[in-house]
Every structure is written in C-alpha cells, then in structure tokens.
Amino acid sequence: SQQGEEDPQALSIQEGENATMNCSYKTSINNLQWYRQNSGRGLVHLILIRSNEREKHSGRLRVTLDTSKKSSSLLITASRAADTASYFCATALTGGGNKLTFGTGTQLKVEL
C-alpha cells in the first residue's frame, strides 16, 4: 500500500498566491522527497529533506518535516501559472535502501 497520503487532492489558486501541500506517512523514514510531474511527463525532483532536518528551502519552495507527526509540507510561494502540475511526496523508508514510496499526489492549478 502507498506510504504517503497527500492533502489536498486538488488545489486551485490564483497566480501570486501561496500553495501549501501536505504529506503524511506511516513508518520511519531516512528522507522525504518532493517531486513535480507535468501531465503525461516524467518527474522532476524538487527537494530532499532528511529525517534529522526540520526545514529546507530552495528558491520559492519551502519544505518542513515533522517526524513526530510523520508529516511534511511543501509551500510554494508567489505561485506562477507554470507551477501548474501534480506534486508528489516520496519517502525512503528506514532499512529500505533507496527505494521510494510515493504519496497520492496533489494536483495544483494556478490560474492567471
């Protein structure tokens, strides 16, 4: 079964607004990664946060990780129409090597 549940399933915002997506998981992890997928395309790696890290930034992206709650959030600030895509969290489980288990995904639509 999938490790991660993401919420919301779909999110529609106006350009310039911030978008927040949440991911929850069930078991102990080594790291958690966020990916973007444009419709019918491959995945683009956005950011990796390790289990001993609490927050990480990359450009307009901010990721938090709360291992006590087994949850992570991805914040995209000042969103653009080009940010429209599906966003997935993926966890590398403790003892699972480099295998990733993907969450259910959030479909983000940024409207002009």
Partner 1 sequence: GAVVSQHPSRVICKSGTSVKIECRSLDFQATTMFWYRQFPKQSLMLMATSNEGSKATYEQGVEKDKFLINHASLTLSTLTVTSAHPEDSSFYICSAIRTGLGEEQYFGPGTRLTVT
| ∠ CA 22-89-43, rounded to 5° | 135
Q: Can you spell out the DSSP letters for 55-109?
A: EEEETTEEEEEETTTTEEEEEE-S--GGG-EEEEEEEEETTSTT-EEE---EEEE
In the complex, minimum distance from the CB of residue 1 to partner 1, in angstroms, rounded to a whole number = 10
Residues that bind partner 1 in the complex, under the rule CB under 8 A = 2, 31, 33, 35, 40-45, 48, 88, 92, 97-105
Cβ closest to partner 1, residue 41 vs residue 54? 41
The vertex-98 CA angle with 46 and 76, nearest 5°, equals 15
CB 35 → partner 1: shortest distance, Å?
8
Nearer to partner 1, 31 or 71 (CB): 31
Closest separation between CB of residue 98 and partner 1, Å? 6
52/112 with CB nearer partner 1: 52
